[in-house]
Amino acid sequence: MQDTGPGRDLEIGRSIRMIEWLKTELVSGVAQVFRQLPKGRDEAVSSALAGVIMSCYLLGRRLGISFSKLEAAVERRALHNASEGHELEEWYHDLSTLGEHFAARRIK
């Protein structure tokens, strides 16, 4: 039997608010990255990027995507784009390096 009482409605409302909040955090985080880039301070840029990545992980989780599933999707996408000749791969090998990073973490 499915719970359809007021508690269920409250939980759905809370989930929707949290998803909306995380979406706002994600956009704010990207803005923070853009604000920090011209300053050139590695620590501030790293912190802003970490906030964006964390928001993505948490938003994914609220949407029912596990952290490991999200990481697997990023790895697949990086390797796919690398094999398709993306400019980041051709010029810097960034995509294959990212794929290797995820593979190395999986092996540990």
Tell me the pLDDT tens digit for each residue of 87-102. Answer: 999 999 999 999 999 9
Which one, of 55, 62, 58, 54, lies nearest residue 12 by Cα? 62
Distances (CA, A) of 77 to 14, 34, 84: 32, 24, 10
Where does the pLDDT of residue 2 fall: very low under 50, low under 70, confident under 90, or very high at 90 and above?
A: low
Mean pLDDT of the chain: 93
Run of H or E residues at 78: helix 67-83
Q: What is the arithmetic mean of pLDDT over 16-39?
A: 97
Q: Residue ranges of the domains in the chain?
A: 1-65, 66-108
